[in-house]
């Protein structure tokens, strides 16, 4: 299964931020360098996460990005980067139940939890 690049980048960036054990701002360039990502592409993903309230962005020399939500699940990141799943009206009726199971499972996987 090939996952959306935005989704995998968002997961990696949130996990990286969580591993720092600090919710201080960190510049996108530092995250990109540590994870071997393109800075420009990561900034696009971070901007999308910011628009949906998952991260908080601050401009300037001492700015950067930090996690805003108290809990971030895989489903949160999926919905933001890949689009929300239409569980009520899937394109093929036969996938309605598997999609529901997939969404339920992803909602239980906590990528980041602030204490």
Of the candidates 90, 89, 14, 99, the one whose C-alpha atom is nearest the C-alpha of residue 50 is 14
Q: What CATH number did the domain enclosing 57 receive?
A: 1.10.10.10
Of the candidates 85, 77, 75, the one whose C-alpha atom is nearest the C-alpha of residue 105 is 75
pLDDT in tens, 31-70: 999 999 999 999 999 999 999 999 999 988 888 999 998 8
What was the pLDDT predicted at 41?
A: 95
pLDDT in tens, 62-102: 889 999 988 999 999 999 999 888 887 877 888 888 889 99
What lies within 8 Å, CB to CB, of 107 at 6+ separation is 73, 74, 75
The dihedral sign for the CA sequence 112, 54, 1, 93: positive
The total of structural domains in the chain comes to 1
Of the candidates 28, 25, 23, 82, the one whose C-alpha atom is nearest the C-alpha of residue 52 is 82
The dihedral sign for the CA sequence 54, 55, 56, 59: negative
- Give the C-alpha separation, 104 to 102, whole Å: 6
pLDDT in tens, 18-31: 898 788 899 999 99
What was the pLDDT predicted at 95?
A: 85
* Domain ranges, residue 100: 5-113
């Amino acid at each position: 299964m090939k996952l959306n690049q935005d989704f995998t980048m968002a997961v990696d960036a949130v996990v990286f931020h969580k591993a720092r054990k600090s919710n201080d701002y960190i510049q996108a360039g530092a995250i990109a360098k540590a994870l071997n990502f393109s800075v420009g592409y990561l900034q696009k993903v971070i901007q999308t996460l910011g628009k949906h309230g998952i991260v908080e962005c601050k401009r300037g020399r001492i700015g950067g990005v930090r996690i805003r939500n108290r809990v971030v699940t895989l489903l949160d990141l999926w919905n933001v980067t890949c689009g929300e799943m239409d569980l009520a009206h899937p394109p093929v009726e036969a996938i309605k139940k598997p999609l529901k199971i997939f969404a339920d499972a992803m909602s239980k996987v906590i990528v980041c939890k602030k204490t």
